[in-house]
Every structure is written in structure tokens, then in C-alpha cells.
Structure 1
Amino acid sequence: MEKEKLFTDFPPVSTEKWMEKIIKDLKGADYDKKLVWKTDEGFDVQPFYRAEDLANIPYRNVLPGNFPYVRGNKTKGNMWLVRQDVHVEDADTTNAKLLDIRMKGVDSFGIIYPDGHVPGEEEVERLLNNIRADVMELNFSCDDPYAIIQVIDHLVKKYNRDLDKVKGSLEFCPLSRYSTTGTFYLSEKEDYKTMSKLFIAGGLLPNFQLLTVNGTIFKNSGAGIVSELAFTLAMATDYLTHLTENGHDIDDVAHRFRFHFSVGSDYFMEIAKFRAFRFLWSKVVNAYGVSHADKTKTFIHCSNAEWNKTLYDPYVNMLRTTTESMSAILGGIDSLSVLPFNEVFEKPDEFSERIARNQQLILKGESFFDKVADPASGSYYVENLTTKLIEKAWELFLQVDEKGGYLEAFKQGFIQERVSNEAEKKNSNITLRKMSLLGTNQYPNISEHIDPAGIKPAALTVENNPELLIPYRGAEAFEKIRLKTDAYALKHKRPVAWMFTYGNLAMQKARSQFAGNFFGVAGFDIADNPGFTTVEEGINAAKKTKPDIVVICSSDEEYADIALPVYEALKDRSIVVLA
């Protein structure tokens, strides 16, 4: 029996027909202004895309696991490692924690030693007691990565581990350190020597990444996605050029790079970002003359950006990190560490770390995000975003290359100037509330109060050096105002904004809500009123209540009659403003 084709009754509709319908429905409104999204990344996004928009995409027929790896490194499925970062206090305590979280779903450890501390072999051995280096991924952050790789190399041989199965990375990125501090670990010359030594010392650990190119500094300093892609690519290319010019074979070094990116809240753009970067890196590495396409694969670790996280209404951070994690996973990252919701303002506790772990465990175990390789493939929208990001990032990368590479461009101020301009635009959008940070610049929880003494010092940026990239959070300007109010309220009565609602019901309600939101983000108490029947009634109520601020909320027409009488009656008792 022949199957009935349900769509034969519906004739195809051309793009021209769709456009005719859209233009008609716009009723004279400008198509570009009304429907075309002018992104901050320097390209326009159309209101709809169709199959014909994929025609010029060169990689559209590439399968997962194939060069140029837009669709990911894996031929089947979308497995990623669940990583949790742990700050080392002492070897035995940290070992107990690692063993505990291993049993709770973690399969990748980020082991972070405090600044200035370089552990010896005995200490690392105690820290890794009962942890198999050929089963768990081990990632180390330490001031002396060369010492760490020597220890790891010796220990895996001592315990007779399969060297091909030992996986992990070293958090070593001299250029990102220089970009944020103005200094190298030791010096430019010595750091590049260390880099070469790492590839010699780790030569027998083929699946252990010896450099982690830290691209998180760009997004967390306010940069856009195109800048993030291009500048991270430029840093990595500087490293690649140095290594190959100093006797290292491209086949031996390219696949030993790991990239650390932050993921933000722009859901589809972030999915496209990871796909675009794999394409860009594979093309760059291929240009160095690798012998096999496998050597051009990109290994990406991802963590949530701190830039859009907030002190106030912190549980919203859970929602942010969940959708961001979805973007990263759908974009095909290799490992993910979810930022605990309270990490930006205090030391994470057992509860916040458990929630962070479980967010990605649920995405894997209950939402099955690990089952399908590159689910975004074929999406007209995401494929076009990917292509646009590739084009724009490559253009910017070439500009950096023309200036002599990343380090030279940074010394000339090119990197900082672009990031600063992009950050300033974001700051302006937050101030004007074109960009919403729920609970901070929009819809504050006015019952939430914070004792500023309980906030860790690093929560608020104090440094502003135009010669460096300074990571900060977009919410800080609003938070500083609100924290001042909270500090004042510890010893004084909290300021009250009192709504003088009168007249047109719709307008008084709309303006009282706007004013309540406006003063609420500064930490003021809000006293709303159901609407006064006469101006005199409202004036008498205000005199009795004695609020700090009286906000007149009515319609434009009624303002002409009531604003001046209300102001004259209350100006000596309260600050009177017009909503």
C-alpha cells in the first residue's frame, strides 16, 4: 500500500511570496527597522531563513567527526565530561573531596593550587590517592606547570597506567596572564621556553593537553563573540608559530592544545560560536601542513561566564547557567564546569556545588543531550549564524595578524580598545535597560537585603586599567548603588519611595510599576497605593506617612492639573518626583 504524502495538498511557497505577505502585514513600517536584528557582532540577522540560505555554506554536507569539525569531533553521540573545579587546601582534605564528587557523577577534575604553591610528587600522590589517571581526567592549575607535568609523567609510569588513556590538561596561557596583569609568569622569553619544555616533558602522554588557551578573559571583560573568537584564535596561533619555529613538529603539538571558553546567555549565538571556532582552528592548523586531519581537531573546555551573574536574586544565576550550559553542550564542547550560583560573591558551599553538578547531570541523564551529534546541524538559522561568525572572526583575526600577531596587537592597544568599546556598549545597554539582568536592573526583589561585609572582596571590580583586560560583571554598577543603600539601612531607616497614584487607572498603575522598579533597583523600599480619589486625599496620606520620596503617578493630561499642587504641598516634607 502506497503511503499517503500529507504535504502534497500544500503547494510550496516561495521566498518572494513570504516577503509579499510580510510587507503587507507591516502596513508601511520599515522592514529593516522592524524585523532585521542589527547584532553587536557586526552583521544582520534576518527574521526568517529557508533551505536556499544554506546553498553557499561550504561545510553543509560534512558529517560529524569529519574535517573541518564544525559538527564536532565525535562521529556518534554528544558525550562530554562533567568537570568540577576544586581549590586545593591540603592534599588529604582535597583527596577526600575528589573521591566524594567522583561518586556523584563527576568524571573530570579541575585541581587548582593557590598562587605561589608548587606541589611536590609526594603531595600530588597523596592528593590522587585511589584516583586512576587513566580513568578520570585530571586538569591542573599551578604556577609551575613544568613541575606538574614531570610529576604526572613519573606517577603514571610508577603505577603502570596506560599512557594513551591518561587525559587531562595544564592551565598554562602566558598571553592571557599578560593581558590581564601586564606581566608574564616569569618573563616573555622564559614563559615561551617553559612552553617548549612542556611539549618535551609530556611527549609520552599523547592525550594530555599541555597548553590551555584561555579565551574566558575576553567575554568576562565585556567583549563580543566575534572578538572572543578572533583573539583566542590569535593567541593560539602565536603559540603555534613559536613552537613550530623552535623545532616542534606541527603533528606533535597542534592536538595538544586545549581551549577554555566562557559561555554567555545569547543562546543560539553561543551554539554557533563553538561550531565556528572548530572550523577556524582546523583551518589554521591545516595551513601549517599537518599530515592528517585528526591533528586539526579542537578540544574545548567550557565554563559559564561570570560577566552576567549577579549578587542580588542569586538563584536566577541557576537559570542563567542552565540555559548557557545547554548552548555549550549543543555546540559540541568536550568538557563543562558549571559555575555555582553563589560563586561570584562568596565561597561555594556543598549545596551550590551539588546544584551545579546536577544541572549538567540532568541535561545528560534526563534530557539526553549526549545522544545526538550536533543537533543544530541543518538549522537554517544556526547554520547562518555559524557562517557569519566564521567570516567576521576571520576578518578580525587577519587584522591582528597584520599587526604582528596577538602580543604585538596587544602592546599597540588594539585588543584593549576594541574590547573596551564593546564593554562600554554593553554597560550602556544595561544602564538603559535595553539589556536585562533580572533582579538587578529589572524586577528587583525589594525584600532582599545584603550585608556588604559578607561579600568577598573580589566580587566588585576596583581596578580600571585601559592598558589591560579587566574582567568584571555587568551588574556591578547597579549593585554598588544597592549595596550602599543596604549599608546605610544597617544603621538608619531605609529610604522609601511612596507612590502618589491618582486618576487614569491604567496610567497610574503602569507608572507606579515603572517607578517602583526604578527605585527598587537602588534598594529603596517601595510603598504602592491603590489610587486616591482626590488629590487632597493623597496629600493628606503622604503627610501622615512622611515618606522620603513621593512619586506622582498619573496620566500626562492629569499631570497638568495635579503636579504643581502636589509638589507645593509636599516639597518641604519629601522629595517629589514625576513618574
Structure 2
Amino acid sequence: MANLKEKLFTDFPPVSTEEWMAKITADLKGADFEKKLVWKTNEGFNVNPFYRGENLEGLKTVDSLPGEFPYVRGTKKDNNWYVRQDINVVDFKAANAKALDILDKGVTSLGFHIKGKDVNAENIKALLNGIHPEAVELNFSTCQKHSLELVKILVDYIKSQNVDVLQCFGSVNYDPFKTILKKGVDNAEWVEKAAEIALAAAPLPRFRVLNVNATRLNNAGSYIYQELGYALANGNEILSKLTEKGLDATLVAKKIKFNFGIGSNYFMEIAKFRAARWLWAEIVMAYNPKCPNECSNKTDDGLCRCAAKIYAHAETSTYNMTIFDAHVNLLRSQTEAMSATIAGINSLTVLPFDEAYKDSDDFSERIARNQQLLLKEECHFDKITDASAGSYYIENLTSSIAEQAWKLFLETDEKGFYEALKAGTVQSAIAASAANRSKAVATRREILLGTNQYPNFTETAAHKIVEGGCNCGCGEGHSQGTLQSLPTTRLATDFEKLRLATEKADKTPVVFMLTIGNLAMRLARSQFSANFFGCAGYKVIDNLGFQTVEEGVKAAFDKKADIIVLCSSDDEYAEYAPEAHKLIQGKAHFVVAGAPASMDELKAQGIEHFVNVRSNVLDTLRTFNAKLGIQ
């Protein structure tokens, strides 16, 4: 048996790339390989249908080990991460009780969102009562104007606890550019404020107080290379300006924290985090950060490689969350969490599935926590460091994403990230990406399950939406400024507006499937059309088939159909469509399912509407809503 195991692959002859290509070319039967099988990504590079060992030759990403510069494979030798849950603080004693409760349920990192007016020593003491700073990562967000005050209070509080500050990890979310990206409000004095905060936090070496919130870019609809490229430019702007002001490069680098979003592009997100570690390490080392300690990780000339370790928090995306069929958000956030943890992040927040339409409750928060705990306790993701290392595909993705992000970083850095924000360059680029992604969803080139494909026809959602402002304690006192801000809509927003309008209408439109002729084609097209019109929340009546068009039209009128969809084969439409159009006589909207060769002839006879895989689903449904008087 042992011999059999040793010779497991010896009976299989090696197959060259040329042989694979010859086989693929033969199977394509003349179709273009590039058009059929090569994926042209939004990131600006192409992805091949297969990769082999030879594709790793010359890649820099395969040369390092976990915990070794440039940290492609991780900034640490293990893959443990903090399980984070955030709490919006309204009542400090209640927030403390909740924090203590969820610490008993598996959370190892707390995030507190505090209103600026509530920042004082007494409240912080009440909030952290019974919470040991050495045992839990502590993170805080508040109004930008109160961040310095909060840092000073935390320094005094933690020092008063007689703990080892080197074992106290956490952050204060001071983001110099948040007011621009969120409200279009300039923060001209950001350098002085950031320097003050960094110096004030120096007594807490493991607290990161200068934040690069790339989550904001992710949730605005950026592509992966944009999120990474702009995040690097953001971090470099902070590092550059503060060192110019006289601060030590090592201190500044160790005070910067990156907060990334996680999209649903599974393998690319893994590659993004690997590329982020690599590129940030190279940027920091360009500042020659000096190591003041006796450390095995410094270079021969005394440079601090530890300063080049990125500290990356990850948070599941809100951009692709949906209100309808909201439990599908669990599937999205689970694959996102898998991407981040396989890639090796420092901490992770999995947002509750109901985040898009209400404040989360105990149930949704529990599920979100358990999504991470399952990855640790049952899937053992924390036991393997950089599980994707050596994958021909992911190593190539890492290199390609790094190349595109670096190119964008250099373009942005040439002008300066702050100047690019004031000019609106960053915001315009991300708005364009968001528009492209929205178009892709409208035409179903990007799928949101339950929203633009396979909707739950009978679901209603208006009753569960709870409107409310942000209570995260940030941006207080700022109205909309004169600078450009980032877009704030989700991918599903336009579809949800359509469907909510249908819900509020006096009458739910009825769509009737007039199925006739070829069995396979009529079934396929009726299913397609039902999903198509179901995305607007219309009532769909499907049928097994009719013997004659006249019978089908009569049945549709009996059901008081507002829209009648003819479902048959292309060849049969030349006969059935004109007959149906004549019998309907404008008493209902008539639609042909498909794009038959006779389409132009049918249009000439007055048939206006066709739905098929090339249709813009969103625009088509908007047209029907308008025709049906639904606002």
C-alpha cells in the first residue's frame, strides 16, 4: 500500500502547455480562445483559464516566508486574527454590559462608536469597566474634532491600569481625509492634527491612531486595484507629511492602520491583501525607518522591518448587501470573511446580514459573530498561514493586482493624495467605477442573487426598513461641503427602489406567460421572463402551455393581466407574435421573450417590447413601471 501511495502519479505522463492548448483549441472548434476563455477583468489585466508551474517563474511573491519581509505571506508566522464586533454607544453602562456579554461569546476585539460630546474620562472609565486592556483589542471611533482628546484619555486610563502597554492593542479611528470623502468638507489642518495625535499616542506603542479607511472606497463601488492603490497613496501621504514635519518615520508607520473592505470576488480579494502587505512594506522601507531596539528583524544597517508590517483590519462589504432576500447577505459575507482570513488579516468585522435596512439585533449580531467562529473552530482557518501560497492562480493574481495598484499609486502620489482629493480625481474615478458596476448589475453581467436574478416573487420589504441617521459619532457639525464626496448607493439600490415602488402601488401589476409551441423553448423563456419581471415585484402567472394563441390571450384577459409575455421558439414567433399582438389590441402590454431573427419585421408590425439576455433589465423595468403609472 505504501508503494502504491509513493507511485500515485507515476502512471500519468506529463502534459505540456502546448498539448493542453492543442486540446483546448480543438474543443473550441474554431472559436476564439481569447474571447471565449480569457477573462478581461475590471482591474486592467487578463486572467487565463489555466495556470501552470511555469507561470510562477520570475514572480517575487513566491520567495518569502510568513513573517519575513516583504510580508507577502503574512506579517506574522501564525494566522490568528481578532474577532471584532462594534457597538454604537448611547448609554455607557449598557454598552459596557453588552461588551462584557459578547466577550463571553467569542469576541476578542471591540469597536466602540462614541459621539464627540460624550468623550470624557468618566464615560471611558465606565465603558471599559471590567475589560482588561491586555486581553482584548480596543478600538474607538468618534468625531474627528474629539479624536485627540479621546487618545489622551485612553493613554491616561490604560497607564492607570498597571498593565504592560506592549500587550495592549487597539486603535482610535482618526482619518484625516474622512470629511472630504464623506461630506466634501476640507480638513486643511490635518497634518498638524495628525502629528499631535500620533505623538499623544506614543505611550501606547501598539495603538494605531492614524487610519486609512479604504472601506469607504470599497463601499462606494471602487474596483480592487483602486481600493488598494488609493489606500497606499493615502497611507504614504500621511507618512510623507508627518516625517517632513519632523516626526520619526518608525513612529508614524507604527501608528498607521489600514481598514479594508472585502468584496465578493473571492480569489482576487485574497490576492489584494497579499499585495497590500508587500507594497506597503516597500513604501515604508523607502523612508529608512530606524530601529531603536535590539531586534532580530532589523536590517544590517539598522532599519526597522517591523515598521514595514501593515496592520490590516477587514470588514465585509455593505456595497453588495441587499434589502430583499436579505439572508443571501450571509452567503456574501461568509465568502468575504473566508477571503480575508485565508489571506491573513489582523482583525475582522463581519457585518450583520440586516445592516442595509435597520440597526442589527441580537440574532443578526450573533450570526455575524458565529460566521467567524466557525472559520476558526470548525474550519481551522487560523491553523494554516497563507494557505494560498504556491497556488499558480493566486500567485499570478497577487502579482497582477500589485502591478495595477502600484501604477495607480504612482500616478496619485505624483500629485499627492490630498491634492487629488481636493481636485476630485479620486472621487470621480470611483464614481465612474460604481457607475460601470451598476450598469453591469442592470444588464446582469454582475449578479446579485435575489435582486437582479432569481428574486423571491412574494417577498415584501417596506415594513422592515428602519430609516435612521449615522450614530457612529463622526462628522458631527459638518454640512455638505464644496468638495466632491464619494457616492453612497449600494449595487442593489436602483432595483430596490423599483420593487418598493411596486409594493406601494395601489395594484400589483400582473404578468402573464403565454406559453405555446416548442416545449423546451417555451419553458426556458417563461422561466427567464418570470425572473426578469419578478425583479420589479410584479405578480407572475406562469402556464404549462396553450394549444392556440387565442386560447392564451383569453386566459390572460381572464386573469386581468397587465403584461402578456409570448414564450415560444424563434421560428414560431413569425406566426404567433403578430397574431397575439392583433388579439391583444393594446388592452395589455405585449412582450416577446427572446431576440428572434424576425425582430425587425415584428417591430415593423408595431410590436415594441422584447426581453432577452442582452436586455438592460433595470431600464426595461423602469419603462414598464412608467407605463403602468408606478412612481
- What is the TM-score normalised by the length of structure 2? 0.87
Q: Does 1:563 align with 2:574?
A: no
Question: Does the 8 A contact of 1:464 with 1:470 survive in 2?
Answer: no
List per-residue Cα deviations over 1:183-239 (Å, max 9, x = no partner).
14xx321x3222111122111111111112100121211111111111011011110
Cα distance in 2 between the residues matched to 1:419 and 1:252: 31
Tell me what 1:309 maps to: 321
Q: Does 1:195 align with 2:194?
A: yes
Q: Does 1:421 align with 2:441?
A: no
Deviation at 1:353, TM superposition (A): 0.3
Deviation at 1:55, TM superposition (A): 1.1
Question: Does the 8 A contact of 2:453 with 2:535 survive in 1?
Answer: yes
Question: Does the 8 A contact of 1:113 with 1:142 survive in 2?
Answer: yes
Cα distance in 2 between the residues matched to 1:289 and 1:518: 58
Cα distance in 2 between the residues matched to 1:539 and 1:2: 71
Tell me what 1:148 maps to: 150
Q: Does 1:535 align with 2:557?
A: no
Q: Provide the secondary structure at the position in 2 that maps to 1:378.
A: coil
Question: Does the 8 A contact of 1:118 with 1:142 survive in 2?
Answer: no
Tell me what 1:246 maps to: 245
Q: Provide the secondary structure at the position in 2 that maps to 1:370.
A: helix
Q: Against the structure 1 CA distance between its residues 524 and 101, is the aligned structure 2 distance closer, same or farther, given a 3 Å change threshold?
A: same
Cα distance in 1 between the residues matched to 2:122 and 2:233: 38
Paired residues for 1:7-406 under 5 Å: 7-75=9-77, 77-114=78-115, 116-143=116-143, 144-184=146-186, 187-189=187-189, 191-290=190-289, 291-403=303-415, 405-406=416-417
Deviation at 1:562, TM superposition (A): 2.2
Q: Provide the secondary structure at the position in 2 that maps to 1:6.
A: coil
Question: Does the 8 A contact of 1:311 with 1:345 survive in 2?
Answer: yes
Q: Which amino acid aligns with 2:430?
A: V
Aligned partner (choices 422, 432, 441) of residue 411 of structure 1: 422
Cα distance in 2 between the residues matched to 1:112 and 1:300: 19
Tell me what 2:500 maps to: 483
Question: Does the 8 A contact of 2:184 with 2:483 survive in 1?
Answer: no
Q: Does 1:454 align with 2:468?
A: no
Question: Does the 8 A contact of 1:217 with 1:471 survive in 2?
Answer: no
Q: Provide the secondary structure at the position in 2 that maps to 1:188.
A: coil
Question: Does the 8 A contact of 1:546 with 1:573 survive in 2?
Answer: no
Cα distance in 2 between the residues matched to 1:15 and 1:547: 57
Deviation at 1:457, TM superposition (A): 5.4
Q: Does 1:550 align with 2:548?
A: no
Moved over 4 A (4+): 1-4, 463-466
Question: Does the 8 A contact of 2:272 with 2:398 survive in 1?
Answer: yes
Q: Provide the secondary structure at the position in 2 that maps to 1:275.
A: helix
Cα distance in 1 between the residues matched to 2:404 and 2:592: 46
Question: Does the 8 A contact of 2:510 with 2:560 survive in 1?
Answer: no
List per-residue Cα deviations over 1:21-41 (Å, max 9, x = no partner).
221222211111111111110
Question: Does the 8 A contact of 1:263 with 1:328 survive in 2?
Answer: yes
Deviation at 1:503, TM superposition (A): 1.1
Cα distance in 1 between the residues matched to 2:324 and 2:230: 32
After alignment, is 40-49 or 537-546 more displaced? 537-546
Q: Provide the secondary structure at the position in 2 that maps to 1:577.
A: strand
Question: Does the 8 A contact of 2:353 with 2:364 survive in 1?
Answer: yes
Cα distance in 1 between the residues matched to 2:101 and 2:432: 45
Deviation at 1:567, TM superposition (A): 2.2
Q: Does 1:434 align with 2:409?
A: no
Question: Identity percentage over the alignment?
Answer: 46
Question: Does the 8 A contact of 2:515 with 2:522 survive in 1?
Answer: yes
Question: Does the 8 A contact of 1:234 with 1:400 survive in 2?
Answer: yes
Q: Which amino acid aligns with 2:234?
A: M
Question: Does the 8 A contact of 1:416 with 1:466 survive in 2?
Answer: no
Cα distance in 2 between the residues matched to 1:50 and 1:448: 46
Question: Does the 8 A contact of 1:452 with 1:486 survive in 2?
Answer: no
Question: Does the 8 A contact of 1:501 with 1:554 survive in 2?
Answer: yes
Question: Does the 8 A contact of 1:309 with 1:475 survive in 2?
Answer: yes
Deviation at 1:572, TM superposition (A): 4.6
Cα distance in 2 between the residues matched to 1:496 and 1:418: 41
Deviation at 1:455, TM superposition (A): 3.9
Tell me what 1:471 maps to: 488
Deviation at 1:9, TM superposition (A): 2.9
- Structure 2: 5+ residue stretches without partners: 290-302, 471-479, 594-631
Question: Does the 8 A contact of 1:410 with 1:416 survive in 2?
Answer: yes
Cα distance in 2 between the residues matched to 1:555 and 1:9: 49
Cα distance in 2 between the residues matched to 1:352 and 1:475: 20
Deviation at 1:452, TM superposition (A): 5.9
Q: Provide the secondary structure at the position in 2 that maps to 1:265.
A: coil
Cα distance in 2 between the residues matched to 1:311 and 1:59: 40
Cα distance in 1 between the residues matched to 2:418 and 2:393: 35
Cα distance in 2 between the residues matched to 1:193 and 1:443: 53
- What is the TM-score normalised by the length of structure 1? 0.95
Cα distance in 2 between the residues matched to 1:466 and 1:46: 41
Question: Does the 8 A contact of 2:422 with 2:483 survive in 1?
Answer: no
Question: Does the 8 A contact of 2:180 with 2:421 survive in 1?
Answer: no
Question: Does the 8 A contact of 2:84 with 2:107 survive in 1?
Answer: yes
Question: Does the 8 A contact of 1:452 with 1:483 survive in 2?
Answer: no
Question: Does the 8 A contact of 1:263 with 1:302 survive in 2?
Answer: yes
Question: Does the 8 A contact of 1:308 with 1:475 survive in 2?
Answer: yes
Q: Which amino acid aligns with 2:307?
A: K
Question: Does the 8 A contact of 1:400 with 1:409 survive in 2?
Answer: yes
- Structure 1: 5+ residue stretches without partners: none
